[in-house]
């Protein structure tokens, strides 16, 4: 606390990222990073950009990221005008909250932003930063997002927007594209942001719905399925009017969110389709095996379409399991709130060896 802080800063409660421990030899299954390295083409592109003397770093990068946006557009059947890139999808999401999800009615009363009661904990953080009124909609008894509940809550509250991850975090459960289409059609006056951070691990992407739905924004990251959490690149896709709103905010904040190395590295990752297919296939196979092994140990595992599983053991508290794993040098994520998930662990799918180490440790613990 300081008298020099602006009033807003006093009110913030910042997001707490998963721990990045400095200790070597840990089995790190707590922040949903990809266990495989990025495409070798990423390193080659970054080295080529640096050249022999790194002289190019003297020059600013392309503020409109044209080459990267063209590459993303080509990969997804979009036009470059339908693609926005940012410094990690967290930055893209932040701009979307400010540009598209902060609305008031004709009398000046705030229109709430809807999201699930159990979801990505950055959403409430952005609401506080931008003065948006959140309204949470409970997941059903099987931890699924129910579109009918979102529609009813949006109509009853005159919502100004809806956001959720698909598959949801930290549950890993996805909903069908047809359900998202039903939501978009039912709420034509609301922007719906679908955060597809984990979509490449088995859920249906909403990207094909963009052409017919001016109220849809889809957000992706290269941190998970492209193994580039350290490079900080994410993108949003939507009709050009939505993208233009994001560009207006970006150019009022930082014209160069992606540096030269991130631009070329991200483009190389997008273009190496074979590497992407191979690594995401390996993660999906490890996940299926992990789910089976956890179930055999008595865990209740939610059906996952992500690169993590969300599981609880009926006979063991979540905090105790997390601590027992930590004593065996395995780090997983545990959320104390809301109450309903206090006994769950969110476990990132690692390499086959890491998954085996986890299962062996849990076998000893339970």
Ligand X SMILES: *Cc1c(COP(=O)(O)O)cnc(C)c1O
Per CB under 6 A, 35 contacts ligand X: no
Would you state the structure tokens that stand for residue 10, as one six-digit string? 């006093």
Q: What angle do CA 115, 116, 120 make, to 5 degrees?
A: 85
User: Which residues within the stretch 297-336 sit at the binding site for ligand X (CB under 6 A)?
Assistant: none
Shortest spacing between CB 149 and ligand X, in angstroms: 20
Per CB under 6 A, 169 contacts ligand X: yes
Per CB under 6 A, 143 contacts ligand X: no
Give the CA count within 13 Å in the CB-facing half-sphere of 304.
29
Among 35, 61, 88, 350, indicate the residue that binds ligand X (CB under 6 A).
88
Per CB under 6 A, 197 contacts ligand X: yes
Report the distance separating Cα 231 and Cα 229, nearest Å: 6
Would you state the structure tokens that stand for residue 42, as one six-digit string? 């990423």
Sequence-separated (6 or more) residues with CB below 8 Å from residue 57 = 50, 260
The beta strands (E) that lie in the chain are given as 27-29, 83-86, 103-104, 110-111, 113-116, 134-137, 161-165, 191-195, 216-221, 234-238, 300-301, 308-312, 330-332, 344-348
Q: Which stretch binds ligand X (CB under 6 A): 38-46, 87-95, 253-261, 265-273?
A: 87-95
* Nearer to ligand X among residue 259 and residue 356 (C-beta): 259
Among 229, 242, 331, 357, indicate the residue that binds ligand X (CB under 6 A).
229
Shortest spacing between CB 94 and ligand X, in angstroms: 10
Q: Which residue is associated with the tokens 């946006």?
A: 69
Shortest spacing between CB 366 and ligand X, in angstroms: 27
Per CB under 6 A, 257 contacts ligand X: no
DSSP state letter for 313 = B
Shortest spacing between CB 182 and ligand X, in angstroms: 22
Per CB under 6 A, 154 contacts ligand X: no
Give the CA count within 13 Å in the CB-facing half-sphere of 341.
22
Per CB under 6 A, 165 contacts ligand X: yes
Report the distance separating Cα 154 and Cα 135, nearest Å: 9
Does residue 221 contact residue 234 with C-beta atoms inside 8 Å? Answer: yes
Per CB under 6 A, 49 contacts ligand X: no
* Nearer to ligand X among residue 87 and residue 362 (C-beta): 87
Binding residue count for ligand X, defined by CB under 6 A:
13
Give the CA count within 13 Å in the CB-facing half-sphere of 228.
30
Per CB under 6 A, 195 contacts ligand X: yes
Shortest spacing between CB 3 and ligand X, in angstroms: 33
- C-alpha distances (whole Å) from 6 to each of 10, 11, 98, 272 are 7, 9, 19, 46
* Nearer to ligand X among residue 139 and residue 229 (C-beta): 229
Per CB under 6 A, 90 contacts ligand X: yes
Per CB under 6 A, 163 contacts ligand X: no
Among 221, 225, 267, 304, indicate the residue that binds ligand X (CB under 6 A).
221
Does residue 294 contact residue 311 with C-beta atoms inside 8 Å? Answer: yes
* Nearer to ligand X among residue 160 and residue 234 (C-beta): 234
Per CB under 6 A, 201 contacts ligand X: no
Per CB under 6 A, 30 contacts ligand X: no
Per CB under 6 A, 234 contacts ligand X: yes
* Nearer to ligand X among residue 234 and residue 362 (C-beta): 234
Shortest spacing between CB 302 and ligand X, in angstroms: 15
Torsion of CA 350, 333, 20, 57, to 10 degrees: 70
Q: For residue 28, list its beta bridge partners.
A: 331
Residues that bind ligand X (CB under 6 A): 32, 88-90, 120, 165, 169, 195, 197, 221, 223, 229, 234
């Amino acid at each position: 606390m300081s008298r020099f802080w602006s009033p807003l800063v006093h009110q913030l409660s910042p997001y707490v990222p998963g721990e990045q421990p400095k200790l070597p030899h840990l089995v790190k299954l707590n922040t949903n990073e990809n266990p495989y390295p990025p495409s070798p083409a990423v390193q080659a592109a970054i080295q080529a950009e640096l050249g022999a003397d790194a002289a190019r770093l003297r020059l600013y990068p392309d503020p409109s990221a044209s080459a990267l946006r063209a590459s993303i557009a080509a990969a997804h059947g979009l036009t470059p005008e339908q693609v926005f890139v940012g410094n990690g999808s967290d930055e893209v999401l932040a701009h979307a909250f400010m540009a598209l999800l902060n609305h008031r009615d004709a009398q000046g009363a705030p229109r709430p932003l809807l999201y699930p009661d159990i979801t990505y904990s950055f959403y409430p953080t952005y609401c506080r930063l931008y003065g948006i009124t959140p309204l949470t909609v409970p997941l059903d008894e099987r931890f699924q997002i129910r579109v009918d509940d979102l529609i009813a809550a949006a109509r009853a509250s005159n919502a100004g927007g809806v956001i959720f991850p698909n598959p949801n975090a930290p549950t890993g459960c996805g909903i069908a594209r047809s359900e998202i289409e039903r939501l978009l059609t039912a709420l034509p006056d609301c922007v719906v942001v679908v955060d597809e951070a984990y979509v490449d691990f088995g859920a249906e992407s909403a990207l094909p719905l963009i052409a017919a739905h001016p109220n849809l924004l889809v957000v992706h990251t290269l941190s998970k399925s492209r193994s580039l959490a350290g490079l900080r690149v994410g993108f949003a896709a939507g009709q050009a009017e939505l993208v233009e709103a994001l560009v207006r905010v970006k150019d009022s904040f930082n014209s160069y969110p992606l540096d030269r190395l991130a631009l070329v590295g991200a483009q190389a990752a997008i273009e190496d389709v074979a590497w992407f297919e191979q690594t995401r296939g390996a993660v999906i196979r490890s996940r299926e095996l992990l789910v089976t092994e956890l179930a055999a140990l008595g865990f209740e595992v939610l059906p996952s379409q992500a690169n993590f599983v969300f599981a609880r053991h009926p006979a063991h508290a979540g905090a105790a399991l997390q601590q027992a794993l930590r004593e065996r040098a395995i780090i997983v994520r545990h959320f104390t709130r809301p109450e309903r998930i206090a006994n769950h662990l969110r476990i990132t799918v690692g390499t086959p060896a890491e998954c085996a180490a986890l299962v062996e440790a849990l076998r000893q613990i339970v």
